[in-house]
Amino acid sequence: MGRIIVANRRGHQLIEWDADTDTEEARESILEAERILREARDKGCAVSRKVGTKHVLDDAPFDPKVEEYQIIAPIAGG
Amino acid sequence: MPLLDPLRGLWRRLLTWDLLPTPGPEGARRDGAVERPWRYYWDHLPKRTAGADFSSRDYQEARQRAEEVARTTLGEELWHRLALDGHLDVKSRRYPGVTYRLRVGRRIEVVCANGVRPPWPYPFLCINPTYPLPELEFFAQLFLYARDREDLLVRVAAPQPWDQRLGRTF
């Protein structure tokens, strides 16, 4: 299972997908995850990816085989 | 009134096309199961709040979830260091001898080694998320920016002469 941690005022909420199951539902969940990641990036968010036991910021396109992404809030001064 | 009809029509079209910014709490309610805060504006909220629709229980649950995700983001080693020291230090790659001291919910403190001239006129950098987040959650995110995207951090940072809590976290 892969997941996106959407950091928001709720603390965080999860979007999950299964890259190992070949069903219409599984394919749709992967497409939805990809859409959300793209939309967040287009709106100025950064994205981190879990590497080993910690997260690193990541510019690479969505990869359904990645275990965990996180959407990082844009930052502003002041 | 017939004279107002064209105006009403234009207003409906503006709303339909989403040309006007939507306030955060209202928009987030439309998102369904997962709130997507980057779609909305949040500047109108009072400091250190998440919206009038947020109950004390919502704040409590958000802070609990934030702790889980901050720990996941940082990894166990950094998480324990934060618990011990109360802050995390990130050495600047851009300014030799400069360290960013990150503290939960507060401005970044710029610490300079002996003899090193500070890059900014003031020792604190004010950086907020553009939408409300629990303090711990944003702390972990700010750590990622400081370590992996120092260029962006430097570009947006607002130098300040005094320490203070952040306004967009709670």
pLDDT digits (tens, 9 = 90+) for B11-68: 776 665 566 788 989 888 889 889 999 999 999 999 999 999 999 999 999 999 999 9
Residues B102, B82 share a domain: yes
What pLDDT sits at residue B8?
A: 80
What pLDDT sits at residue B79?
A: 97
Residue with tokens 């300014």, as numbered in its chain: B95
Three-class SS state of B145: helix
A76 CA: distance to closest CA in chain B (Å): 5
Is residue A41 within 8 angstroms of chain B, CB to CB?
no
What pLDDT sits at residue B14?
A: 66
Residues B93, B63 share a domain: yes
Residues B34, B112 share a domain: no
The answer to whether the CB atoms of A45 and B38 lie below 8 A apart is yes
Q: How far is CA A63 from CA A19, A52, A58, A71, B125, in A?
A: 10, 16, 11, 14, 35
Residues B1, B73 share a domain: no
Residues B36, B55 share a domain: no
Residue with tokens 């209202």, as numbered in its chain: B26
Evaluate whether B121 touches B110 at the Cβ level (below 8 Å): no
Residue with tokens 């967040």, as numbered in its chain: A40
What pLDDT sits at residue B133?
A: 98
Q: At B115, is the pLDDT very low, low, confident or very high (cuts 50, 70, 90)?
A: very high
In a domain, B154, yes or no: yes
Kindly state the average pLDDT of the residues A7-32.
93
Distance (Å, rounded) from C-alpha A38 to C-alpha A32?
Answer: 10
What pLDDT sits at residue B1?
A: 65
In a domain, B111, yes or no: yes
pLDDT at B102 over 80: yes
In a domain, B125, yes or no: yes
In a domain, B170, yes or no: no
Residues B145, B108 share a domain: yes
In a domain, B61, yes or no: yes
Residues B115, B53 share a domain: yes
Residues B72, B20 share a domain: no
In a domain, B1, yes or no: yes
Evaluate whether A17 touches A29 at the Cβ level (below 8 Å): yes
Transcribe B12-63 into DSSP letters: HHHHHTT-SPPBHHHHHHHTTTS--GGGSB-TTSPTT---TT--HHHHHHHH
In which region does residue B41 sit, left (phi positive, over 0), alpha (psi from -120 to 50) or beta (all else)? beta
Q: What is the pLDDT of residues A23-77, one digit of tens each?
A: 999 999 999 999 999 999 999 999 999 999 999 999 999 999 999 999 999 999 9
N-terminal to C-terminal alpha carbon distance within chain A: 39
Interchain CB contacts (distance < 8 Å): A and B: 131
For chain B, the domain total comes to 2
What pLDDT sits at residue B16?
A: 59
Is residue A60 within 8 angstroms of chain B, CB to CB?
no
Residues B113, B84 share a domain: yes
What pLDDT sits at residue B150?
A: 98
- Nearest partner of A77 among B142, B148, B111, judged by Cα: B142
- Mutation target vs A (from B133, B136, B138, B154; most A CBs, 10 A cutoff): B133
In a domain, B96, yes or no: yes
Residues B73, B3 share a domain: no
Range(s) of the domain holding residue B89 = 49-160
Residues B53, B35 share a domain: no
pLDDT at A15 over 90: yes
The neighbour count for residue B100, using CB atoms within 10 Å, is 25
Q: At B74, is the pLDDT very low, low, confident or very high (cuts 50, 70, 90)?
A: very high
For residue B133 the two structure tokens come to 């987040």
Residues B71, B148 share a domain: yes
A63 CA: distance to closest CA in chain B (Å): 19
- Nearest partner of B62 among B168, B136, B130, judged by Cα: B136
